[in-house]
Structure 1
Amino acid sequence: MPTTPNQDTYWESAGASRASHVIPTSECWALVTTQSAGRLGFFREGLLDIFPVNYLVIDEHLYFRTSVDGTIATSHLEHAAFQIDHVDKEARSGWTILLNGPATRVEDPTLLTTLWGKAVDEPWAPGQRDLFFDLAPTLVRGRRIGAAH
């Protein structure tokens, strides 16, 4: 019977002419703050959903807005994933950061005041986006990909 590869087998490998390097957690957080949009992944009704969302980072927590009655807000997000990437097509290089952890509604009035006071990109999706979620990662992983030297 064939063996099943470890879940990180593909995450840890690069293409034949490519090099892949682990990004330390502190650098992952620094890179995440250079972008403003990523993809939120979560399970809903037995399927994996992935939604693009705008975000901001404060003290190693990732915050995003959504609608009160939308798919994200009405889903269970205790096992969420968030991915942020940067690709340089000309150099054929880039990086990817994956954050795993629960996403919970922000209800603290002081934190909400802070979040509403931050200058952030307007959400891409139409409609009211006035519910903040806090993704508090329990696992942060990053890879940098480039040409093998």
Structure 2
Amino acid sequence: MSNSTSESHAEVLGPADCWQYLRSSYIGRLAVINGAVPEIFPVNFAVVEETVVFRTAPGTKLRALLSGTAVAFEVDGLNPYGTEVWSVVVKGEPGAFSGDPASLQEAGPDREPWQAGLKEHLVQIHPAEISGRRFAVSPRTRWWPPQDFSADWL
């Protein structure tokens, strides 16, 4: 990868790489539409086959999931040296988990919700689209000191 300041060198990930990165993670962000308002929630998750599975309690998130609108789910990460980052986005339809409960133990035996309370609704996202990218972290000198980008918003 080049250090050119005029180009971004993001590598587009194929589906197999995207699923591999998802399997290596356990916390992501779920984006839903709540009425006419977008909402984003952090969720603990597991990958079962090629679906994203998580638990939730009754409330805003579950109501939005039951509305039948598509959702987006995103996970980010970086390599152990902090020199390369990746991002994966899954877009699809939410529904009740229909798989074998034993597959949840295999996918993530130690994955428990972080927030206290009963999370009795098991949801899976049936992906319609999965995409991802990976790129080198820019040296701090490329983005520091801060720039005034206010003219870009006019």
Q: TM-score band, normalised by the shorter chain?
A: 0.7 to 0.9
Q: Does 2:7 match 1:24?
A: no
Residue 111 (structure 1) aligns with? 100
Percent identity (aligned) = 24
Q: Does structure 2 conserve the Cα–Cα contact (< 8 Å) formed by 1:42 and 1:77?
A: no
* Cα distance in 2 between the residues matched to 1:27 and 1:116: 22
Q: 1:138 Cα deviation (Å)? A: 0.6
| Structure-2 separation of matches of 1:116 and 1:25 | 24
State the partner residue of 1:12: none
1:102 equivalent in alignment to 2:81: no
Bigger fraction of residues in helix: 2
**Whole-angstrom distance in 2 between the partners of 1:52 and 1:35:** 13
Matches of residues 26-105 of structure 1 in structure 2 within 5 Å?
26-67=16-57, 69-75=58-64, 76-87=67-78, 91-105=82-96
The gaps in structure 1 that reach 5 residues or longer are: 1-14
Paired residue for 1:7? Answer: none
Partner Cα separation in structure 2 for residue 98 and residue 55 of structure 1? 14
TM-score of the two chains, using structure 2 as the length reference: 0.74
Let me know the Cα RMSD of the aligned residues. Answer: 2.4
- Distance in 2 between the 1:96 and 1:71 partners? 26
Q: Stretches of 4+ moved more than 6 A in 1? A: none
| CA positional deviation for 1:90 | 5.9
C-alpha distance 131-17 of structure 1, shift in aligned 2 (>3 A): same
Find the residue that maps to 2:118 and give its secondary structure: coil
* Residues 92, 32 of structure 1: alpha-carbon distance in 2 compared, 3 angstrom cutoff: same
Compared with structure 1, are the counterparts of its residues 33 and 77 closer, same or farther at alpha carbon in structure 2 (3 Å cutoff)?
A: farther
Q: 1:116 to 1:129 in 2, by over 3 A?
A: farther
